[in-house]
Amino acid sequence: MFRSLIVFALTFLLVIFGLEYIMPPFGMIMYLNPIEIVGSIAYSIAYVTGMHVKLSIFLAIVSISIFPLIMVIIVNRICKKKKKRRF
């Protein structure tokens, strides 16, 4: 359980900082606070699509969380297989 939380948190932060790195201006990290980065992505989504800001914040968090969730599932399956082999 604790391992899953650590894997999710670290991959979530890596995805957020990776998105910040590839957003204009390219190759620069403007914000160091992950909440500001998610807010920046959410306001960009809201500006481009014209949807409400609260809905775009939800959409940004959900879309960013997909990859870390998949990574947690993969890590848990690998660890379960190793645990079964050990005993």
pLDDT tens figures, 74-83: 999 998 877 7
pLDDT band at 87 (very low <50, low <70, confident <90, very high): low
pLDDT band at 86 (very low <50, low <70, confident <90, very high): low
The predicted structure's pLDDT at residue 28:
77
Q: Contact, 81 vs 66, CB < 8 A?
A: no
Among the listed residues 57, 63, 60, 67, the one whose alpha carbon sits nearest the alpha carbon of residue 7: 67
Q: pLDDT tens for residues 14-65?
A: 999 998 888 877 777 788 889 998 998 899 899 999 999 999 999 999 999 9
Identify the three-state secondary structure at position 77: helix
Report residue 72 CA to chain centroid gap. 12
Q: How many CA atoms lie within 13 A of 22 on its CB side?
A: 5
Q: Contact, 9 vs 64, CB < 8 A?
A: no
